[in-house]
Structure 1
Amino acid sequence: MYRFLLTPRWVALHIVVLLVIPAFVFLGQWQFGRFEERSADSDLVTRNIESAPVPLETLVRPGGTAEESDRFRSVTVTGTYDPAQELVVRRRPQNGRPGYFVITPLVTGGGHAVLVNRGWVPAGASADEHPAVPPPPTGEVTVTGRLRPSETEANSGIRERSGLPPRQVLLINPASIGRSLTYPLLDGYVELTGQQPPSAAAPEPVPAPDVGSGGGLNLAYGVQWWLFIGIAVGGWVLLIKREVADRKAQESVAEPEEARTD
């Protein structure tokens, strides 16, 4: 009755099922791994955003590095803006509009400076035209913001290129920007969320990161792939049972016909 399972057509079906099962297991495990990574990253960012502000120098020292584990950590830093060295960062859309980030060095009392992303401004009439930027406040200010690691081609997906208009860059990279400055820059930069005293006019604030569901979609996809395993095996068993039932029905029809012939 089950010899049909060894026919070429059925052997091919068995091979397909045997290949599909480990493939779906692998895809499910990969999605579960992505769920764990994204959930851990979401938890880290949420904790850093909600933490009480700490002085920037406790996280990033001169010559040191802004760590990924401190990404979006709330920090404070006091100093004086240097508007003569202000830059804008190209290709930074916000709320569906093209525009620029405004990066201004904040010189601290320690003789070094940190880049501050003061916010977003809309693009001008052309890509080569420098946008209209509200000036930073004069005198000493205390900035509160989110610490961000330095941008690179690898972690941002943005490729640096030469030939840009004056005072425009593509990446917020203190190592590169600092070559033209007379004072050293701390690694990373601060994404401004508050300032004392406040400015009369300022660029549009950069929104806080959207931590989303923390990889919940990956978890759903992982469960989905593993459900497909049950569907594949169940479909394979169902086809076998249907074939057996069809063959039994054909045999039961054939027996009365043979009896009548006799």
Structure 2
Amino acid sequence: MVGVYRFLLTPRWWGINVFVLLAIPFCIFMGSWQLSRFEARVHDSHAATKQAASDQRETARPLDSMLPVDTATSGRRVTARGHYGTQLLVPGRQLGDKQGFYVLTLLRTDSGKALPVVRGWLPGTAQAAKAPAPPTGEVTVTGALQASETPGDNGVSAAGGLPAGQTAAISSASLVNLVPYKLYDAWITLDRADSGMTAVPASAPAGTGLDLKAFQNLGYTGEWFVFAGFVVFMWFRLLRREAEAVRDAELGLAPKEQEEPQDTAPVSAP
């Protein structure tokens, strides 16, 4: 029986065996890494949900003490003082099963920067006449801290060419060309909306939800483990086929190669 597997010592099989010994641990490592990424996203999603619930009850902290916005500070309650300035509309925003728009007003603070404040949501098409005017004088706002939006992510419109007084995304990069203020790289949504509008709930930090990327990690996990199993399957299949060929040859069952016919033509005399 040992003699049947002597072919494992040939250079060809040395190459096959080395490839298998390297490929299987690599596939297992990559599959485990993708699985850990999925588990991390699940953990972050649960943590973000618990944090959002606790953030609604916690004492609001000064805005500057919670910057810059990251996964630890996103959604936390903050407070700021200042005077309302330029007001913009953010069209194409859904709340529940209805389409509408945000009313976004810039709060000019004593720091010299302006903070984008979503004062509320209104149904229908974005029209300046529908949006209530902001309060006058110095105001104190309290709401959930949010990171600047990225067009194309989480339903944020990337459309350009909007009418004057509107913006597609709430981000300093988008607003810097629309308002004459220096801006915070953040925004807040008020706990209680102004003037009969509906308050906009805070969204979870980017990368902490069970979105398409999370399930892609889970899919990649399965692909790497399946590939590891495929490598093992193919190795056993090649091994069995080669062993059967050697065994058949030893038993004389394998067809012999035909010998090349020799030239038997007579040699003519000179």
Q: TM-score, normalised by structure 1?
A: 0.61
Residue number in structure 2 paired with 1:85: 86
CA 1:73/1:3 → structure 2, altered by over 3 Å: closer, same or farther? same
User: Alignment partner of 2:186: what SS?
Assistant: strand
CA 1:68/1:15 → structure 2, altered by over 3 Å: closer, same or farther? same
Q: CA deviation at 1:75?
A: 1.0
Letter in 2 for 1:232: V
Does residue 38 of structure 2 align to residue 35 of structure 1? yes
Higher CA-based Rg = 2
CA 1:203/1:190 → structure 2, altered by over 3 Å: closer, same or farther? same
Residue number in structure 2 paired with 1:225: 224
User: Alignment partner of 2:64: what SS?
Assistant: coil
For residues 176 and 246 of structure 1, the distance between their equivalents in structure 2, rounded to whole angstroms, comes to: 70
For residues 202 and 131 of structure 1, the distance between their equivalents in structure 2, rounded to whole angstroms, comes to: 14
For residues 26 and 231 of structure 1, the distance between their equivalents in structure 2, rounded to whole angstroms, comes to: 15
Q: CA deviation at 1:189?
A: 0.7
Runs of 5+ consecutive residues of structure 2 not aligned to the other structure: 255-270
CA 1:180/1:169 → structure 2, altered by over 3 Å: closer, same or farther? closer
Letter in 2 for 1:218: N
Does residue 132 of structure 2 align to residue 135 of structure 1? yes
CA 1:253/1:175 → structure 2, altered by over 3 Å: closer, same or farther? closer
User: Alignment partner of 2:143: what SS?
Assistant: strand
Equivalent pair of 2:92/2:157 in contact (CA under 8 Å): no
For residues 94 and 132 of structure 1, the distance between their equivalents in structure 2, rounded to whole angstroms, comes to: 20
Equivalent pair of 1:105/1:114 in contact (CA under 8 Å): yes
Residue number in structure 2 paired with 1:167: 165
Equivalent pair of 1:119/1:204 in contact (CA under 8 Å): yes
Does residue 27 of structure 2 align to residue 24 of structure 1? yes
Q: CA deviation at 1:116?
A: 1.5
User: Alignment partner of 1:165: what SS?
Assistant: coil
Letter in 1 for 2:196: A
Residue number in structure 2 paired with 1:75: 77
Runs of 5+ consecutive residues of structure 1 not aligned to the other structure: 256-262
Equivalent pair of 2:89/2:165 in contact (CA under 8 Å): yes
User: RMSD between aligned alpha carbons?
Assistant: 5.0
User: Alignment partner of 2:196: what SS?
Assistant: coil
CA 1:176/1:225 → structure 2, altered by over 3 Å: closer, same or farther? closer
Residue number in structure 2 paired with 1:201: 196
What CA deviation, in whole Å up to 9, does each residue of 1:103-131 have, x standing for no partner? 1234568886532223444563xxxx747
For residues 217 and 175 of structure 1, the distance between their equivalents in structure 2, rounded to whole angstroms, comes to: 30
Equivalent pair of 2:38/2:214 in contact (CA under 8 Å): yes
Letter in 2 for 1:222: T
User: Alignment partner of 1:171: what SS?
Assistant: coil
Equivalent pair of 2:42/2:210 in contact (CA under 8 Å): no
Q: CA deviation at 1:87?
A: 0.9
Identity over the aligned pairs, expressed in percent?
30
Aligned length: 243
For residues 191 and 67 of structure 1, the distance between their equivalents in structure 2, rounded to whole angstroms, comes to: 14
CA 1:224/1:88 → structure 2, altered by over 3 Å: closer, same or farther? same
Letter in 2 for 1:148: Q
Q: CA deviation at 1:65?
A: 4.0
For residues 113 and 150 of structure 2, the distance between their equivalents in structure 1, rounded to whole angstroms, comes to: 22
For residues 209 and 145 of structure 2, the distance between their equivalents in structure 1, rounded to whole angstroms, comes to: 16
For residues 30 and 77 of structure 2, the distance between their equivalents in structure 1, rounded to whole angstroms, comes to: 40
Equivalent pair of 1:70/1:147 in contact (CA under 8 Å): no
Q: CA deviation at 1:218?
A: 3.0
Equivalent pair of 1:121/1:131 in contact (CA under 8 Å): no
Residue number in structure 1 paired with 2:258: none
CA 1:157/1:25 → structure 2, altered by over 3 Å: closer, same or farther? farther
Does residue 104 of structure 2 align to residue 103 of structure 1? yes
